[in-house]
Structure 1
Amino acid sequence: MAATIKPVVALLAPPEATASTLYGLFDLFSSAGRDWNAVMHGRPGESRLAPVIVSRDGRGFRAGNGAWIEPDAALSECPRPQAVCIPDLMVAPDEPLSGRYLTELAWLRHCHSQGALLAAACTGALLLAEANLLTNRDATTHWAYCDALAKRHPEIRVHANRALVATGDGERIIMAGGGTSWLDLALFLVARLLDTEEAMHLARLYLIDWHREGQQPFAALTASRQVEDAVIGKCQIWAAQHYDTHAPVAEMIQLSGLTERSFKRRFKSATGMTPIEYVHTLRLEEAKLLLETTDTPIEAIAGDVGYEDPSFFRQLFMRRVALTPGQYRRRFRTMRLAMQ
């Protein structure tokens, strides 16, 4: 009987890679198919994935925290991967990255062109941006890096309040936000590469709790740093907390102390969006979260996020997301339920 070919998951290890996330991903992928049987039936199964740690030259190196990382192969020696994972990087939010990872970026573009899934944990998304793989696409990264990413790459739609984003053709580019949301990323990939049952096994085995709350509570801490205009920054913080009010733009104008014309001009200059576009973005992101995590009727969700007319909410959602609220719920609610 022919041996089953396991999907190869390449874990990219740049010099600034964080060892905990890198080896945590390696452990979870290695566990798929193996450890649930060991716990439930007393005998380990066979790993269903083949994780391999790769680096530019395949040589061992010290990570930023001093831990030793020993890659399995150089990029040129890596078997063709079905998925590539980038762990978080120990770099400062505004640290220049241009010209720093040319070999890795070329390899990522090649893997993507060959049909591989690309996944990034936390600040690993910065490499996807540098590789020009996120142009005109949705993205997320660690909440403390979202404003820097948006400023460096204004062509990317950065969602600071989302813990997981899947984007691109066939949703083959996946990003997790900050902290332990790399666990969400691993479960999502296991479900994509294998099946949701295996992802559920890992979630139960390792007591992994899906990050339903997203990053918004943490992103709010840095909202005032999103723009250099302090007045507009103050209005952004207010909008993040009061987007569901009846007339949020009028409230922000009053809060700013500016004339309506001056406020709208400065807001667009600072954020790249008109005030109402900004409010719609906040409302729709909250609506997405409610659609993914609750059974609340769509009409009630429309009201909860600030829309008195459910039909307008549906039309706006369809125009912005390219799915109806019902289609969005059916597509993403299943994944949420699978991780409970």
Structure 2
Amino acid sequence: MTDRTRPIEVALLATPESTGSTLYGMVDVLSSVGRDWPLLTTGQAGESIIRPLILSRDLEPLPIANGGLVQPQQRLAEDYQPDVVCVLELFFDPFRGPQTDYSPEVEWLKGYWQRGGIIAAACTGAYLLGQGGLLDDQDATTHWAYCDLMARSFPSARVHPNRVLVTAGLGQRLIMAGGGTSWMDMALYLIARFFGVEEATRVAKVNLIDWHENGQQPYAMLSQTRQVEDARIAETQTWVAQHYNQRSPVATMVTMSGLSERSFKRRFKLATGLSPMEYVLTLRLEEAKHILETSDVAIDVVAEEVGYQDAAFFSRKFQQKVGITPAQYRRKFGGLRRLAGAST
């Protein structure tokens, strides 16, 4: 909890790879704190108790991702010490990493951290924390599609792909949210941290924000579709993408590769990061997710279509990997497809 006699100041770091929806979404949500609930329930607006502003290298209008343009309100300066700094989503290739030189931002963040600041990163913004060494020997999270890149780039960080929110560092002053709209979870956490759970609940009600209590797993693409450079392994990848529902697909892949079983499994794991059986499982579950989203067939039929005779075993594997049961997944994502189909 914090002193209510003044608004807290939350700086939102803007860069050329920032996305406008997260920057201005945070501006709108944080500006509503203390103001909108009284307006909607009594007709009299309250005072905003958080002051968000956009921070950048300088005060020049800044072109950002997707053709956006932002007007920064504060430049990076050694003596600038807001209550919180947020590093939001950066749009870059999950296989190559950011192509922008972020040295000025990273150095400023390191200095801000050393002066006792609180840093909250959403989605790929956590990459800048890693570049500054702030994630060394710390728990971390980011968008599910970028977790492999984070783990490779910052091997001493403990990256949690399923976690929507992670707090770490001295005094829990590092806050990281996963991908997509999990910046909203981060906003609610910050509101609760400074002004209490009741205030965060009011903001969630005003803005119809749902907490991602099941983590990122239900939203994640479980398998990477990128073909590997090892030609023999790539050939088996191509085959199993069409035949994952057959009996004993790994044995067929071994035969196709012309390698010994031990050599094949070692090279497959080296090339893809997964064992052959794990790879087959992810393909089967991705197809199961698609069937659940697009049809109303029974769960045991879904299991059989992706290669499992035992529906209970399939359901257990599905929940382990996806975080919710097949029936829960269908309710969560099938409704959107049905609605879209009805509207067309």
d(CA) in 1 for partners of 2:170, 2:225: 33
Deviation at 1:40, TM superposition (A): 1.0
| 1:126-275 equivalent positions in 2, closer than 5 A | 126-222=127-223
Any gaps of 5 or more consecutive residues in structure 1? 235-250, 279-303, 307-340
d(CA) in 2 for partners of 1:227, 1:175: 31
d(CA) in 2 for partners of 1:58, 1:226: 43
Query: 1:243-275 CA distances to partner (integer Å, 9 max, x unpaired)?
Result: xxxxxxxx9x9999699987997799679999x
Deviation at 1:108, TM superposition (A): 0.8
d(CA) in 1 for partners of 2:228, 2:143: 17
d(CA) in 2 for partners of 1:273, 1:68: 41
Deviation at 1:219, TM superposition (A): 3.0
1:315 corresponding residue in structure 2: none
d(CA) in 2 for partners of 1:91, 1:225: 17
2:53 corresponding residue in structure 1: 52
Cα RMSD between the aligned structures?
3.7
2:106 corresponding residue in structure 1: 105
| 1:86-105 equivalent positions in 2, closer than 5 A | 86-97=87-98, 100-105=101-106
Q: Which amino acid aligns with 1:29?
A: L
CA 1:206–1:3: 2 relative to 1, 3 Å: closer
Asked if structure 2 preserves the Cα contact closer than 8 Å seen for 1:160 and 1:219, the reply is no
d(CA) in 2 for partners of 1:48, 1:178: 26
d(CA) in 2 for partners of 1:226, 1:186: 37
d(CA) in 1 for partners of 2:168, 2:35: 30
CA 1:81–1:128: 2 relative to 1, 3 Å: same
CA 1:37–1:77: 2 relative to 1, 3 Å: farther
d(CA) in 1 for partners of 2:161, 2:172: 19
SS in 2 for 1:190: helix
Query: 1:67-94 CA distances to partner (integer Å, 9 max, x unpaired)?
Result: 2200111112874211110110111113
SS in 1 for 2:67: coil
| 1:264-303 equivalent positions in 2, closer than 5 A | none
CA 1:193–1:170: 2 relative to 1, 3 Å: same
d(CA) in 1 for partners of 2:206, 2:171: 29
Asked if structure 1 preserves the Cα contact closer than 8 Å seen for 2:78 and 2:108, the reply is no
Asked if structure 1 preserves the Cα contact closer than 8 Å seen for 2:10 and 2:50, the reply is yes
d(CA) in 1 for partners of 2:210, 2:229: 36
Asked if structure 1 preserves the Cα contact closer than 8 Å seen for 2:145 and 2:221, the reply is no
d(CA) in 2 for partners of 1:153, 1:162: 18
Asked if structure 2 preserves the Cα contact closer than 8 Å seen for 1:117 and 1:173, the reply is yes
Any gaps of 5 or more consecutive residues in structure 2? 238-247, 279-314, 318-344
d(CA) in 2 for partners of 1:305, 1:80: 49
| 1:28-107 equivalent positions in 2, closer than 5 A | 28-76=29-77, 79-97=80-98, 100-107=101-108
SS in 2 for 1:144: helix
Query: 1:214-266 CA distances to partner (integer Å, 9 max, x unpaired)?
Result: 111333433566998869x99xxxxxxxxxxxxxxxx9x99996999879977
- Quick check: which has more Rg, 1 or 2? 2
Identity value in percent:
49
TM-score, length-scaled by structure 2: 0.66
2:305 corresponding residue in structure 1: none
Deviation at 1:5, TM superposition (A): 2.6
CA 1:203–1:153: 2 relative to 1, 3 Å: same
Deviation at 1:100, TM superposition (A): 0.5
SS in 1 for 2:120: strand
CA 1:256–1:146: 2 relative to 1, 3 Å: farther
CA 1:97–1:179: 2 relative to 1, 3 Å: closer
2:304 corresponding residue in structure 1: none
Asked if structure 2 preserves the Cα contact closer than 8 Å seen for 1:8 and 1:80, the reply is no
Query: 1:24-72 CA distances to partner (integer Å, 9 max, x unpaired)?
Result: 1011111111111111111111111121211011211222111220011
